[in-house]
Amino acid sequence: LSLRRASAVRSSAAVAHPVRTPPRPARSAVLLNGADDGGAPAAALGALGVFASLVCFVSEFTLKTTGCGLPAGPGGLYGAVEGLSYLAIVALIGWSVATKVQTGKGLPAGPFGLLGAAEGLAYLAALAGIVIAGLTVVDYGSIPNAVPSEGARCS
């Protein structure tokens, strides 16, 4: 009788009980915690941020080598893209700083790391812009006007 009882105790202990997993938090909670990549909006913002940074790098290279920014282009298109790119860089850095102050972390990486790349490139473009602006003042005595004027260096 004792052998039967002992084997019954062993067999009942070996029965696995199902493990309950906690429910997943709502998508909004996941986004607030930075655990999600943000999906399509984050990818689009990241891609625009990377593009804006690249435009700024081209503009800064042009400023350093010629003393002038990008030409206005057809119908002022190049100049408009250049100006909007600098505004996008400032906005991206502002968003990054605000996020850092609120959460203690920078922006999430986003899909394919685009948003994180855009954040890093924005800081790099801003730093390069400050350095090149200083070098332009040393080389040419001033920074060119945003809008070319008659008789100016970059008219």
Distance CA 133, CA 102 (A): 31
pTM listed for this prediction:
0.70
pLDDT at position 87 = 95
- The answer to whether 122 and 96 have CB atoms below 8 angstroms apart is yes
What are the CA-CA distances from residue 58 to residues 7, 10, 66, 80, 107 (Å)? 79, 74, 12, 14, 25
Nearest to 140 by CA among 48, 68, 89: 68
pLDDT at position 12 = 54
Residue 121 parent element (H or E)? helix 114-140
Tens of pLDDT, residue by residue, the chain (155 residues): 555 555 555 555 555 666 776 666 554 444 444 445 667 888 889 999 999 999 999 999 998 888 888 888 899 899 899 999 999 999 999 999 999 999 888 888 888 889 999 999 999 999 999 999 999 888 888 777 766 666 666 76
